[in-house]
Every structure is written in structure tokens, then in C-alpha cells.
Amino acid sequence: MKEVKLTVLSRDINTVIEFLGRRSIMHFTDGEESPRVPDEAAYRRIQAGREKLGRVSAWLGVPLPTEPVESSVFPGETEEHLLESISTAIYALSRRENEIKEEKLKVEEALNEARAFANLDAPFADLDQLSYLTLRIGRLDKRQQEELRENLRDRTVVIPLGGDRFLAAASRKGRFALDSELKKMDFVPITIPEGYKGIPDEMFSGLEERYKQTAKGLEEINSKREEFKNEYATVLQSLAASYQMAAITEQLKSRFVTTHNAYLLTGWVPQEMIKMLVEELGALTDGRIAVRSYSPEEVKSVKEGKEKVPVYLKHGAFVKGFQKLVFSYGAPLYGTIDPTPIVAIFFTFLFGLMFGDLGQGMVLFILGLLTRPRKSSGSIDGLAPKKNRITFFSKFEHFSVPLMAVGVSSMIMGALSGEFFAHGEILVGPTRAITGFITGHPVDRILVLMPLNEEGGSVKKLLYFFAFTVGIGFLLNSAGLIIYTANQFFLKNYEKAVCAKTGLAGIIFFWYAMSIAVRYVLSMVKSDVFTFSFYWFDGVALVVPLFVIFFGPPLSRFISGKSRVFTDGPLIYIIEGFVEIIGIFSTYMSNTVSFLRVGAFALSHAVLSYIIFRFSEEVQMAPAGTLWSILIFLCGNIIIILLEGLIVAIQVVRLQYYEFFSKFFTETGVEFSPFRFRKERSES
């Protein structure tokens, strides 16, 4: 990893940022302590464009991307003119829609009120005095009718009755405004025959016709909306992505050190990418760029401990699938051992031990295939499903590799134990054929976990399996101790590397204690007698590393000439030392015994599968037994895959976190997080 400083002219800054955002190779360091406000004119123009896009897309019902896409470009005059022309057309249609909606509402209210009094046996002149509706019928030329409709848009419905005749309907509160406008015009009222009862039919027909016209108008607008949506959806999404990229760029530029003519960009770049960075940026800017790189030990902030170097891990597809599990706990410090390969191997292996079933493992493997990320084909993220991909499963693409890995591991363990979807007999024939061909002694199952059954299982064999899981725990614990010790040597913390309980002294103590336990178990297996011999050299081998752990730190400070050998006084140090020694015994014992849970879950999986298998067999004798047997078989397997699979995954994660990571993750680093426009990128 190298710290890179780029000096870029102002004319090239957008081009350089676009390159870095697309290639995702530079982890920017913190810029100015007080970031500047983005260029006001440019930022205002960008925000105005984004607001227009938001209003237009909302009216059309077009979803917009939340981040730039591969085809995004910085919006220029062409994009601004295109957005302006689209928004002008949309705004006009939107205003027309609002006008028709308002008129439709008024017509509907007037029609409802008129219908309410349609059958009222009272003279029309009396209806005009009601407090609900004001009616005016008369003559007015069409031009003035339009003027009346325009002036009283919110308060009156004007209904043409043919020729220059019209009817105006207003609510009681709009009566005075209506009469006032009519006085200003050449309004000639039409006299309703004396004694005419009810409401004139012309009014109903006029209101209903006007209502139909407004409804038809809204249908035409909705149809036009769909046309615009089909025509402009892709364009609007592309413009939104471009304006989003421009907004991100302006915000980023405010973080950089700048003069009137140039910007200084500082960040971390993987060493193997620097040559490509220099060549491509030089070509993009025609050589108008200065690039300087520094090793971490040359960076002042790193030497002073104020800044941590980002960690960039480069893995193959299998190991990379488990990288998020490591980073969920913490990023390793730069310059230390990467634990991801060990995590990938042990996670896969432990899951398979606890969840051994050929059929159920096959289901997990298929789920891994379904969630495998695929390349997109010109789609905008979040707006269209990726090509050849089931959208639901795409949400879990980060679990694809782990699912396939544990699926294979479970299938292998299931083949050894003879389990296929909790059925214990299907694989007997193939297993006997294979073992008979290889060894000459066919067996029903290569590995028998069920104790004291008709297939030759025994408690002793089960104990051997539990001892095997403890051995796995010993290997994983040892790996954690070795990583811690090596890391401290790399970081030149020699005192911790040698004297810490997880350092070299701790390794010697742990390994020798385990060798004594193995020696005792082997002697018991050979003689079937509980005997144990402890020799003088055993005591020396155990006491010496404990002595180093206890007195190592003060001896180190004494040798280095520090004034205070015991930082908090000798008495407190001795008390803390004894507590730590007790903690060493309990920690190493619990960390090792903890792996017995692997055998326990493997046994529980076998027992649960056996119960489902036997239960499905027993119910076949009952009425509709075949149907019940199939239901039990299906439901049982679903429960095992979903519930027990989740529990086993949690247990494996717990073993990784508490028994492995806790040994060396005493300080976490910073994950390499390069600047990119798109948060999620499809991996090639």
C-alpha cells in the first residue's frame, strides 16, 4: 500500500474524479479539517436539475437511481437543454391535469347538489333561495362565458346550454362573486316560467355532459402520461444518474486542498495499481498531472500513530467469500497476517462436521448457485433485475460462496455418515459397493455417529469423534496464537510477542499442556486403566513459560532502562499476575473444550435425522399413512435445513469469533475503502 498525492489542474479535476470513481482504486484520506462549501454556482445548477428530475419523475411514476451507473457522464449544456425541454412539456401537462381535476370536482359537487333537490316539489325560484346552491341561467356570448369561467375558476361551474345560453352554478359562498362578475358583462337572464317546479333538465344534462368531458380529459392526460413515461423513462434515469455523479463530485472537491488553479488529492492506493494509475491519468490529462507516492513508513501521520494504513486483501473467489465474516469482527492491521484463508477453511470444515447430510447439503449448494452474482447487462441498479438472475435470491449474493462451500462440506460428511435428506438407508447400497471395492470389507456407513445401534456404533467410537473435534479446536487455537505472535514480531512489539499469554510463552505452555493430555489419553486407551504419570520435566516445561508471562514485562522494562519497572507498584502487579495466570488455565481449557460442541451438534443432527426417518416409517401403517409419511419427511427436512442450519452457522461463527479472533484481534485496522460512485459493483 502506498500513499499517493495527485496534483491536478482545475480544468482536469472532474475527469480525474470520474476516473477514480469508476476504477475504485484510491482510498482518500481525511481532507481539510473544515471542508469548504462546494462551488456555489455549480452546486446550485446541479441541485436545480436534480429537483426538476425529482418532480418530473414523481409525476410520471419513474423510479430514479440512487447512484451513478457505468454510462453516466457529467451533465453539460446538452443534458440541461434536454431536461428543460422534457420538464416544460411535463409541467404543461401537469398544470392541465390540475385544472381539469379542479373543474371536475366543482362539476361533481354541483351535480350532487342538483340531484339532491331534483325531486323537490317546489318552484325553481324557491330553489334558488336555498343555502346550498346558487343558479343563474341566461345569455352571454361564448367569449364572455370563457372569461367568466376563467375569472371564477375556483367558485363557479359554467355550463353551456347551446348557442349563447348558459347556466352558472355556484355554492352559496360563491354567489356574490358570481353576481358581481355577471354585472360587469352583458348578461341577460332567462326568465324561468312562473311556477316551474324542480330543476331544469338542461341543467342536469349540461352538468352531466361537462362531467363526462372532464373525465375524458383526465383519461387523455393519463394516456399522455403513459406515452411520456415510455418515451422518457430511460432518459430521465440516465440524467438522474449523471446529476447524482456531478453532486458527489462537487461534494468531494470541497474536501481537497486547493488553490485557484489546482487541487491536491491524497489517498492510499495498492502498490500493484500505481503504475496503471499513473499511465491512465497521464493519458486522460495529456500529462497535466503530478503523482508522488510514499511508503507507509515515510508518512508522518502513520509514524506518529495518528493514521492507520488501510488494509487491502486480494483473494480468490473461495476465500473472498468469507472476507465479510472477518471484517464484520474487524479489519486486520496493515502489515499483519491475513486470517481470511484460515477462516474459510475452518468455517467450511466445521459446518460440514455439524451438518452432515448429502441431500440437505445439496440444497445449500443449489442456494449458493442461485444467489451467485451475475454480470448486469446495461441495467440500472435497483431499477431492473440483472440478466439471467432471480431477483429474490440476488439480495443474498454475499452468501453465495459460503453457501456453496458449506453445501459441499455437508454433502461429503453426509456421504460418510450415510444420510440423504434424513433417510438412513438410501446410501447403504452405494456405500457397501464402494467400500467393498476399495477395502474388500463392505460396510453400511463409513462414519457412524449414533451410539449403540444395530450398525455397529459404540460409545467408544463416538468418544473418538469428540476427541477429533477437540483436536480441531487445538489446531484453530494454535493458529490464533501463532498469528498473534507473528503479528507482534512484524510490528516490532517484541515484549508482547514473547511474554504475552497469547505470545510465544503462551504457545509453549498450551502445546505442552495438550501433549500431557494426549499422553494421558493414549496410555488410557492402551491399558484401559486410568493411570497418569507426571515427570519433573513436565513441571519445568509448564512453569518456565508461566514464569516468562508473569515476570516478562517488568524484566523487559528493567532491561530497556525504564524508570518504573512496576507501573502501578509491585503488590498490585503480583496480584494482577496471579489473576492472569489463573485466567490462562481457564481460558485455554475453555477454548479447547468449547469445540466439544462440534461433536454435540453433529450427534444432535444425526439423532434428529434418525427421529424423522423412523417417524416417517412408522406412520405408514396408519390410515393415509403414505401421505403423512411424505408430509413428515418434507417438513422435517425443511426444519432441519432452516432452523438447525441457522443454529450450526451461528455456532461456527461463535467459534471463529471467541476461540480464534480473540487471540490476535487486540487492535483492529482500517478496511481499504476506495472512492467509488457506485456502492455495490458486480464482480467480474
Q: What is the DSSP letter of 194?
A: T
Whole-number Å distance between alpha carbons of 444 and 431: 6
Q: How many angstroms separate the Cα of 344 from the Cα of each of 291, 369, 473?
A: 38, 18, 15
* Domains, in order of start, for the chain: 1-35+255-307 (3.30.70.240), 119-198 (3.30.70.2750), 317-670 (no CATH)
The SS3 assignment for 185 reads coil
Residue 123 pLDDT exceeds 70: no
Q: How confident is the model at residue 684 (pLDDT cuts 50, 70, 90)?
A: very low
Whole-number Å distance between alpha carbons of 417 and 427: 9
Residue 457 pLDDT exceeds 70: no
Q: What is the DSSP letter of 644?
A: I
Q: What is the mean pLDDT of residues 99-123?
A: 67
Residue 385 pLDDT exceeds 50: no
**pLDDT number for residue 120:** 43
Phi, psi at 276, each rounded to 5°: -65, -40
The SS3 assignment for 262 reads strand
**Whole-number percent of the chain with pLDDT over 90:** 36
Per-residue pLDDT reduced to its tens digit, 242-263 = 999 999 998 888 888 888 889 9
**pLDDT number for residue 386:** 43
DSSP β-ladder status, 188-189 and 310-311: unpaired
Residue 379 pLDDT exceeds 50: no
For the chain, the C-alpha Rg in angstroms (whole number) is 40
Which three three-digit cell numbers place residue 418? Answer: 450415510
Residue 640 contacts residue 605 (beta carbons within 8 Å): yes
Residue 331 pLDDT exceeds 50: yes
Residue 410 pLDDT exceeds 80: yes
Q: How confident is the model at residue 199 (pLDDT cuts 50, 70, 90)?
A: low
Q: What is the pLDDT of the chain when averaged over all its residues?
A: 83
**pLDDT number for residue 529:** 61
**pLDDT number for residue 464:** 82
Q: Which residues face 265 on adjacent strands? A: 6
CB atoms within 10 A of CB 146: 13
Residue 480 pLDDT exceeds 80: yes
Q: What is the mean pLDDT of residues 603-612?
A: 87
Whole-number Å distance between alpha carbons of 183 and 144: 12
What string of H, E and C letters represents the secondary structure of 481-509? HHHHHHHHHHCCCHHHHHHCCCCHHHHHH
End-to-end CA distance of the chain: 23
Q: How confident is the model at residue 124 (pLDDT cuts 50, 70, 90)?
A: low
Contacts of 430 (CB under 8 A, 6+ apart): none
**Whole-number percent of the chain with pLDDT over 70:** 84
**pLDDT number for residue 181:** 86
Q: How confident is the model at residue 117 (pLDDT cuts 50, 70, 90)?
A: very low
Per-residue pLDDT reduced to its tens digit, 655-677 = 999 899 988 988 888 999 999 88
DSSP β-ladder status, 188-189 and 262-269: unpaired
Whole-number Å distance between alpha carbons of 152 and 69: 49
Residue 221 contacts residue 214 (beta carbons within 8 Å): no
**pLDDT number for residue 227:** 92
**What is the pTM for the complete model shown?**
0.74
Per-residue pLDDT reduced to its tens digit, 209-243 = 878 888 898 999 999 999 999 999 999 999 999 99
Residue with cell 504419570: 533
Least confident of 265-274, 361-370, 519-528: 519-528
Whole-number Å distance between alpha carbons of 485 and 247: 47
**pLDDT number for residue 132:** 57
Per-residue pLDDT reduced to its tens digit, 146-181 = 888 888 876 777 877 777 778 787 776 777 888 888
**pLDDT number for residue 377:** 42
Q: How many angstroms separate the Cα of 503 from the Cα of each of 142, 336, 435, 513, 584?
A: 99, 15, 45, 15, 12
**pLDDT number for residue 373:** 76
- Top-confidence range, 16-25, 68-77, 546-555: 16-25
**pLDDT number for residue 451:** 60
